[in-house]
């Protein structure tokens, strides 16, 4: 047990899928895993462990924003031995060609700041996906009949953004979508020699104002879960 995770040693799999929403963790575990059992509910942050095609998998919520994700990912890696960590999140489209419900696979993450800023200081570190996971996820996504976009995303500290000028520059420089966790996930994984990826589904669009309701964010988006599971075990 850790301060924030009540699971016993051995209750967490080496492969962990990480939605921001703990109820999406429950939905994904019930939908995609066999023999899923609750392994954490400290502070209502639900984590489940089961198997997918015989492989042990944990699906654990991170909460919203990089400080919250940092707590769970630090404990999952350092105390429970997680080695492959894939964020399954929602995001806001920032380009005209990125549509609602499209899949975005994050190759790299732009940010203003992350919790690691304190140690990276003046370094403009570029949080980057694990290449074998990225390649496997893109191949898995391309096998489906749904648009997939691969590239740079923006990991923001805020949902209610007040800097349209920055969004304009990011759109101009090809940033595909905005979310709030992946940059710190990639940074922590690099620091601890683990593998990380973010597979996202577009739930909102910054340019058109479209937005899916909360129940769709919690209980749909199955393709990003399947793509993530296929990518995690592509080499096994």
Ligand X SMILES: O=P(O)(O)O[C@H]1O[C@H](CO)[C@@H](O)[C@H]1O
Ligand Y SMILES: O=c1cc[nH]c(=O)[nH]1
Which residue is it, tokens 């940033």?
175
User: Looking at beta carbons only, is 81 or 141 nearer to ligand X?
Assistant: 141
State the binding partner of 204 from ligand Y, ligand X, none, CB within 5 to 8 A by kind.
Answer: ligand Y
Q: Quick one: which H or E segment has residue 117?
A: helix 117-120
Q: Which stretch binds ligand X (CB under 6 A): 13-21, 40-48, 76-84, 124-132?
A: 13-21
Known binding residue 90? Answer is yes
Cβ contacts of residue 210 below 8 Å, gap of 6+? 100, 204
Binding of residue 89 to ligand X (CB under 6 A): yes
Q: 115-122 long-range contacts, Cβ below 8 Å, gap at least 24?
A: 115/66, 115/67, 115/70, 115/184, 116/184, 116/187, 116/188, 116/191, 120/187
**Binder of ligand Y out of 40, 90, 116, 228 (CB under 6 A):** 90
Q: Of 205, 150, 160, 207, give the one whose Cα is nearest residue 180.
A: 160
User: Looking at beta carbons only, is 49 or 156 nearer to ligand Y?
Assistant: 156
Structure tokens at 74: 């630090």
**Cα 191 to Cα 163: distance, rounded to the nearest angstrom:** 30
State the binding partner of 92 from ligand Y, ligand X, none, CB within 5 to 8 A by kind.
Answer: ligand Y
Cα 229 to its chain centre, rounded Å, is 13
Known binding residue 24? Answer is yes
Q: Which stretch binds ligand X (CB under 6 A): 17-25, 29-37, 40-48, 165-173?
A: 17-25
How do strand 177-179 and strand 148-155 relate by DSSP bridges?
parallel
Please count the residues of this chain forming the interface with ligand Y, following the rule CB under 6 A. Answer: 10
User: Looking at beta carbons only, is 33 or 104 nearer to ligand Y?
Assistant: 104
> x/- binding map, residues 205-224, to ligand X, per CB under 6 A?
------------x-------
> x/- binding map, residues 29-68, to ligand X, per CB under 6 A?
-----------------------------------x----
**Cα 89 to Cα 93: distance, rounded to the nearest angstrom:** 13
Q: Is residue 21 among the annotated active site residues?
A: no
Binding-site residue ranges for phosphate? 20, 24, 43, 87-90
Residues making contact with ligand X (CB under 6 A):
19-21, 64, 89-90, 159, 179-181, 217
């Amino acid at each position: 047990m850790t301060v924030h995770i009540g699971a016993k040693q051995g209750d967490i799999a080496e492969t962990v899928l990480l939605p921001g929403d703990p109820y999406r963790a429950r939905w994904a575990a019930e939908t995609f895993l066999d023999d899923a059992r609750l392994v954490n509910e400290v502070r209502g942050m639900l984590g489940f462990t089961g198997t997918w095609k015989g492989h042990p998998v944990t699906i654990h919520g991170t909460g919203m924003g990089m400080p919250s994700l940092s707590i769970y990912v630090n404990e999952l890696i350092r105390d429970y031995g997680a080695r492959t960590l894939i964020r399954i999140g929602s995001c806001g489209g920032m380009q005209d060609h990125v549509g609602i419900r499209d899949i975005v696979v994050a190759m790299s993450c732009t940010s203003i700041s992350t919790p690691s800023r304190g140690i990276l200081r003046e370094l403009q570190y570029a949080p980057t996906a694990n290449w074998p996971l990225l390649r496997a996820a893109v191949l898995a996504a391309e096998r489906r009949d749904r648009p997939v976009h691969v590239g740079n995303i923006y990991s923001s500290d805020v949902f209610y953004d007040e800097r349209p000028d920055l969004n304009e520059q990011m759109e101009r420089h090809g940033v595909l979508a905005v979310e709030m966790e992946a940059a710190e996930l990639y940074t922590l994984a690099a620091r601890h020699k683990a593998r990380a990826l973010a597979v996202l589904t577009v739930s909102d669009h910054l340019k058109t104002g479209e937005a899916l309701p909360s129940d769709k964010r919690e209980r749909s988006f199955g393709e990003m879960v399947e793509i993530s599971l296929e990518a995690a075990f592509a080499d096994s």
